[in-house]
Amino acid sequence: MIRSFIVAMLSLLVLSDLRAGVDPITDLTLDRIVVLEVDATINPAVANYLQTELTRTAATDSTLFVIKLNTPGGLVSTTKDIITAIGKSTRPVVIWVTPEGASATSAGAIIASSAHGLVMNRGTNIGAATPVGLGEDIKESDGRAKAVNDLTALVRSLATTRGRNAEAFVSMVATAESFTDADAAKKGITDGTVTSLDGIRALYQDKTVTIQGQKRLLKFAPIVETEIREMDAGQQLLNVFANPSTAYILFILGAALLYFEFQAPGGFMAGGIGVLCLLVAGIAFQVLPLNFGAMSLLIAGVVLLVLEIYITSYGLLALAGLGCITAGSLFLYRHEDGWMTVQYSVIASTLGGIVVSLGVIAWFLARHRTEKQRFFDQSQQEGEVIRAHGLEGTSYLYQVRVGGVIWKARSAVELSIGDRVKVGQQQAAGLLLEISKL
């Protein structure tokens, strides 16, 4: 009896130790699918879009995120930002390489290795993730081995964590290998080939995934709501500018315009537009964080609008200022830890107010100039000298106040401030008065 009792107790101890080493699996019931679509290069706009949407849903929501992916690749730094956002998500994220003809190459393949679930549509491919420079392979002298080793270790760790074929992902980086949807499914790179959201539901029903180190058994509710979330206007605008080629052109254009401004200073038109190009390029290159870049654009826009008052640019400075304010307003309040944005109605009403104000000022100045040109057509007027500008040739230049209006004037004799003068005629298209002392 004593021997049997000891054996039973030892068996219980062994079983308890074994159970303690096994992670518990908890059910996760999903009643909503949020679809995000990435059909572009991996750039700051895409990163902000995914970071925003993945954190926008509360942690208590039973949501499955499906990212429809079709990308030729992009920036490594942005890729790592997206991987971090997926890793922080408390909801399962499934990457779906779709539609037919789509690919998840380069940075897309690396991002795919981080997803909780990975599927592909028919006629798609994944791989070719070897890091390259602008238009060519990175040379050994440029640190190619370092970049390859870094990305190799990254995909190996991510694929192992998600229970996928780590060596296949390593080959994508090390030897630029690429796989079709069928090959990827056979080699354990993906969870399967699906052609619809219903196929994703069927594939992941009662499937276990690891989310933040916890194993969750996915179960779909009888009724599942599907919601498609697209990029907002600010992200779409940034997506256009963040294309590497476009960003590079903006940078070169901005630098050239600033050079012209320094060569022929005073107009500020080339400099103002150049600043706009450089700020947008800085955001696209991720040199400037999105919020700092947006604030810089707003400040630059206000400065350009103020300069428009003092410099005759025929509206070019005002247009550049409006462009800065519009882009800055759309890019503002972007952060992965929260989701806020300026409502489009507020942006539209603000820009509308600025445009109307500029229009009223332009109309008033045009009307005032016309009135000034006709001011002395009918009769001579009297005025007062308020400032002296010195001698120019044989004439003395002054500023005079005539009927409440300040004029530039010329006199054949020297006058003193406060002298009363009589206006003879207008010269130089009505901008210069001939005066004489009363």
Dist CA 234 CA 246 (whole Å): 17
Q: Domain of 120: which CATH number?
A: 3.90.226.10
How is residue 189 written in tokens? 């790179």
Write the pLDDT tens digit of every residue in 285-302.
766 776 677 777 778 877
Q: Does pLDDT of 378 surpass 50? A: no
Q: Does pLDDT of 5 surpass 70? A: no
Number of domains in the chain: 3
Write the pLDDT tens digit of every residue in 165-193.
999 999 998 888 999 999 999 999 999 99
Return the higher-pLDDT residue of 406 and 139.
Answer: 406
Could you tell me how many helices (H) and strands (E) the chain has, helices first? 14, 16
Say yes or no: 211 and 283 in one domain: no
pLDDT at 240: 78
Write the pLDDT tens digit of every residue in 328-348.
776 665 554 444 455 556 556
pLDDT band for position 410 (50/70/90)? confident
Say yes or no: 207 and 259 in one domain: no
pLDDT, averaged across the chain: 78
3-class SS of residue 317: helix
Last residue of one domain, picked from the residues 185, 216, 231 = 231
CB 55 within 8 A of CB 248: no
Say yes or no: 195 and 118 in one domain: yes
Say yes or no: 258 and 218 in one domain: no
Within-domain flag for 284: yes
Within-domain flag for 133: yes
Within-domain flag for 3: no
Q: Domain of 421: which CATH number?
A: 2.40.50.140
pLDDT at 136: 45
pLDDT band for position 76 (50/70/90)? confident
Range of the domain at 227: 22-231
Write the pLDDT tens digit of every residue in 186-230.
999 999 999 999 999 999 999 999 888 888 999 999 999 999 998
Write the pLDDT tens digit of every residue in 236-269.
777 777 777 788 888 888 888 887 877 766 556 7
Return the higher-pLDDT residue of 90 and 291.
Answer: 90
Q: Which amino acid is at 390?
A: G
pLDDT at 418: 87
Say yes or no: 152 and 248 in one domain: no
Model-level pTM? Answer: 0.65
Say yes or no: 150 and 104 in one domain: yes
Within-domain flag for 68: yes
Phi (first) and psi of residue 358, to 5 degrees: -65, -35
CB 407 within 8 A of CB 376: no
Say yes or no: 238 and 227 in one domain: no
Say yes or no: 195 and 240 in one domain: no
Dist CA 118 CA 112 (whole Å): 7
Phi (first) and psi of residue 200, to 5 degrees: -65, -40
Say yes or no: 284 and 431 in one domain: no
Q: What is the pLDDT averaged over residues 4-26?
A: 56
Say yes or no: 292 and 210 in one domain: no
Q: Does pLDDT of 284 surpass 80? A: no
Say yes or no: 55 and 140 in one domain: yes
How is residue 198 written in tokens? 């219903």
Last residue of one domain, picked from the residues 183, 207, 231 = 231
Phi (first) and psi of residue 141, to 5 degrees: -65, -20
Within-domain flag for 290: yes
CB contact set of 334 (below 8 Å; sequence gap of 6+): 48, 52, 234, 290, 291, 294, 341
Within-domain flag for 6: no
Residue in this structure with the two tokens 């933040």, named with its chain if needed: 212
Return the higher-pLDDT residue of 38 and 133.
Answer: 38
Q: Does pLDDT of 371 surpass 70? A: no
Say yes or no: 248 and 160 in one domain: no
pLDDT at 120: 95
Strand partners, 426: 433
Kindly state the helix (H) or strand (E) to which residue 358 belongs, with its residue range: helix 344-373
pLDDT band for position 101 (50/70/90)? very high
Last residue of one domain, picked from the residues 201, 231, 261 = 231
